[in-house]
Structure 1
Amino acid sequence: MSIASGTVVSPESRIHGCLLGGALGDSLGYAVEFDPIEEIRRRFGAAGLRDFAALDGGTHFSDDTQMTLYTVDGIVEALEWANSGVGADANACVWLAYLRWLDTQGVSVPESAPRPQPRWIDGQEVLRHRRAPGNACLSGLATGEMGTAARPVNPESKGCGTVMRSAPFGLVPHIPADSVYKLSADAASLTHGHPSARQSAGAFSLLIHFLVQGSSLAQAAEAALARVLADDEAAPELRERLEAAIGLAGEAASGTILSPEDLVRELGEGWVAEEALAVGLYAVLATVQQGAATAPVDHFKAAIALAINHSGDSDSTGSIAGNILGAYYGTDCLPADWLEALEAPEVIRGMASQLVAVTSA
């Protein structure tokens, strides 16, 4: 599916759409993150959780949105320096942002670690709540060492904590695709050392980058896969999951959409990086096949429902699907009633506006 002919999606709309869309998918998925599909069906019916209206007590976004916003903050700081004529290490800026996020989680770092100066984001109380943060994200940052691909922290970790926070790298305009991939993979190395963790983050950011550049959903997915296939050092499990996601989504053209049980059997539960990316991508591509005339809002709702209703890491897979669709359609795909239910939308919009400001300067 492509955006209607003649429709122009502004960079501002894509940035806001990506960050808000990810938060919506994260928030709906967070309500069922640790529930098996049987429990989800028991609570919400055979079709599972499909709308915020089913959550009488409301819901919150998780560490996925928290870390995504702190990724934005690190990028914004690096671009602020660049716009003022001063070079800055982008990955160091992101690392310092993550250290400030770690402080919001009540985790201390060694005295040898730097003490970053506070920024606007640090004063937002909603980001100081502990929302099931990933163990590798916490432990990797708590070393006080700036992890790199050559000197990894958590060398065997490939949890989805790298992918779910990496969409913002793809939102920065005017940089080459290879640079997007490297920035994202390097940032993943700050907490996770396994090749699939880094490469999955890089592939996801590339997918967002190609969408922002005007590619269709299918084109962006194939371009991200091609980057992985061209890498002799790519983790085989990442290749397999991406190929499976794209191939299975193609079968949805005939109306064959995977059940929640088949979804996790074919693509995984989403707790590790390549599985989370595959599930989120499949949810987007499979639901687009339901009809070329599908309205963006309807596509968003269908994709998020597919991404979160399974026995796995529902908030991360929902977040990834929401990031993708928001980057593609812009804010036009975001359901108005869902936005009304979203926690602290002003904080998310505030960070989106900061990214818009520094990328249009």
Structure 2
Amino acid sequence: MSNEPGAVPSPESRIHGCLLGGALGDSLGYAVEFDQIDEIRRRFGAAGLRDFSMLDGGTHFSDDTQMTLYTVDGIVEALEWANSGVGADANACVWLAYLRWLDTQGVPVPESAPRPQPRWIDGQEVLRHRRAPGNACLRGLATGEMGTAARPVNPDSKGCGTVMRSAPFGLVPHIPADSVYKLSSDAASLTHGHPSARQSAGAFSLIIHSLVQGSSLAGAAQAALDRVLGDDDAAPELRDRLGAAVRLAGGAGQAGAAPVLSPEDLVRELGEGWVAEEALAVGLYAVLSTAPRGDGGAADPVDHFREAIAVAINHSGDSDSTGSIAGNILGTYYGTACLPTDWLEALEAPEVIRGMAKQLVAVTSG
């Protein structure tokens, strides 16, 4: 599964890299999620939190990784049915997976909702902890209603809970980009109804999809931006934030170009990340602004990963979600070659994450 730096990653490596990379960014960011940048600097120094070794007692991954893994499980179930020759509603499978996640959070599933059959993921005790889950996710699922694009639950909610869980849709091979976008935005409607929440999830999945198809980081970002700009119904705030992320990262990291934004400027330009389009913009900017270019940027995939996560989490905002998004993107792009070995050794329950990655590999290979 491992791939040498510079080699084209295998599909298996991309899947493992995406899920493990997202969990690493999530875990490091979760340690400072509710801290302002001044407090982060006070605790960890002027450069902020940059390594798991700086954390006394380690850290956990958050609801971002939990819901990403349950997204994987819903996709896996739908593909298991398809591979056996039985059609299944992919969004219904994801909804049932989310209802099982809701149960892990101690929230009763309404009597009106179906009773999903337990699966392997439900027996993993490490997932049965509340790690600051989003209120819209809990509230939307607790209605017992399966939200749709036409009748979404929480119609005014656009929290980042849609984006941070949506990378797995882009990992499914052999489906067109428009289908990836629809699957992701439809799944967002299960908990969040605001157009920006749904469209941001779709755009993020398109970035992952493009990388799986062999696109460059800049090419994947531009493809997602073009999709948003070409949609007459796109939320204006998503157009603005995604466009700003691509524009601001255009010169960052290059010799003689403007430096990477400070945490204060990052928040001023792109937002704190608590809502969907801001989380996507911050995570994407962190990846693009630290990418190797000429004499600037990180020297190799591991250095790029470390630098990007540092930018993604050290700000006064939703650090775990922005770190998770950045980790998903780089893990998909480089595969497992970018993941720092010492970080993986500090990661909570890597066997659970790898277990879900193996299931997704199994149903998508061949």
TM-score range with shorter-chain normalisation? over 0.9
Counterpart among 260, 263, 266 of residue 263 in structure 1: 266
* 1:32 matches 2:35: no
RMSD (Å) for aligned C-alpha atoms: 1.3
- In 2, distance between residues paired with 1:6 and 1:239? 33
**Preserved contact between residue 109 and residue 144 of structure 2 (Cα < 8 Å):** yes
Deviations for 1:123-176, whole angstroms, at most 9, x for unmatched residues? 000000000000000000000000011111000000000000000000000000
* 1:287 matches 2:290: yes
After the TM superposition, list the runs of 4 or more consecutive aligned residues in structure 1 that deviate by more than 6 angstroms. Answer: 3-6
Report what 1:203 is aligned to. 203
**Residues 79 and 340 of structure 1: is their aligned pair in 2 closer, same or farther, counting only changes over 3 Å?**
same
> How many pairs does the alignment contain?
359
Gaps of 5+ in 2: none
The amino acid of 1:35's aligned partner reads D
- In 2, distance between residues paired with 1:238 and 1:4? 36
Report what 1:345 is aligned to. 350
Deviations for 1:227-262, whole angstroms, at most 9, x for unmatched residues? 111110000000000110000001313142100000
* 1:159 matches 2:151: no
The amino acid of 2:364's aligned partner reads T
Shift of 1:86: 0.2
* 1:308 matches 2:313: yes
**Residues 4 and 236 of structure 1: is their aligned pair in 2 closer, same or farther, counting only changes over 3 Å?**
farther
- In 2, distance between residues paired with 1:321 and 1:56? 24
- Indicate the SS of the match to 2:22: helix
Report what 2:75 is aligned to. 75
Counterpart among 327, 331, 335 of residue 336 in structure 2: 331
Shift of 1:110: 1.8
Shift of 1:292: 6.5
More deviation in 277-286 or 290-299?
A: 290-299
- In 1, distance between residues paired with 2:139 and 2:21? 28
* 1:239 matches 2:239: yes
- In 1, distance between residues paired with 2:50 and 2:260? 16
* 1:135 matches 2:135: yes
The amino acid of 1:48's aligned partner reads G
Shift of 1:112: 1.0
Deviations for 1:194-243, whole angstroms, at most 9, x for unmatched residues? 00000000000000000000000000000010011111000000000011
Shift of 1:56: 1.4
**TM-score normalized with structure 1 length:** 0.98
- Indicate the SS of the match to 1:154: coil
Report what 1:250 is aligned to. 250
**TM-score normalized with structure 2 length:** 0.96
- In 2, distance between residues paired with 1:197 and 1:250? 25
Deviations for 1:96-123, whole angstroms, at most 9, x for unmatched residues? 0000000000001221100000000000
Report what 1:12 is aligned to. 12
- In 2, distance between residues paired with 1:22 and 1:293? 19
